[in-house]
Amino acid sequence: MKENEHYTKFVSLIKENKYPEAYGYLYPYVLKNDKKSMKLISKSYTYGKAYGVDIDLIKANIWQQRSELESFSELGKVEYNQFLFFLSINKPKMASFFLQKSAELGYKEAIYKIKDEKYVKLNEIIIDEYWKDFDYSDLYPYCHNIKEDCEL
């Protein structure tokens, strides 16, 4: 396959409203940390319906941030550690800030903590309403249509 041919194929499938097929086609490139593919995912969430998804600027930002790094597995970890520090010294407002910041960078552990209502309540964490419905397993569009586990 020629360089950039898979981007053209993705866009072509999007224009044909074949959204699950388009995102399934692009997924292997995202797994390879292909920056342009991740930027396409970011663009999808930025522009929404034209790409077969709802506009979600948090998800768009997560994918944009990921596209700028060699490896995104640690993205948000520093903020998560700051959350843990402020939690340990009983500063729930500061802890809340850093937990949400970590989640906004797509750090899986932060998102799971936010989703744990008992944990949030017990630690007096304040979170934005957005996170109540956030589904990490749906961070990649049409993930449920992809046969492999696609929790990135």
Q: Where are the domains of the chain?
A: 5-69
User: What is the per-residue pLDDT for 72?
Assistant: 66
Q: Where are the alpha helices (DSSP H) in 32-104?
A: 35-47, 57-67, 77-88, 92-104
User: What is the per-residue pLDDT for 132?
Assistant: 82
Structure tokens at 142: 């049409």
What are the angstrom distances between the C-alpha of 148 and each of 33, 52, 134, 142, 152?
A: 17, 21, 21, 12, 11
User: What is the per-residue pLDDT for 87?
Assistant: 96
Residue in the structure block whose two tokens are 């802890």:
95
Which residues in the chain land under pLDDT 70?
1-3, 70-73, 147-152
User: What is the per-residue pLDDT for 81?
Assistant: 96
User: What is the per-residue pLDDT for 3?
Assistant: 62
User: What is the per-residue pLDDT for 80?
Assistant: 96
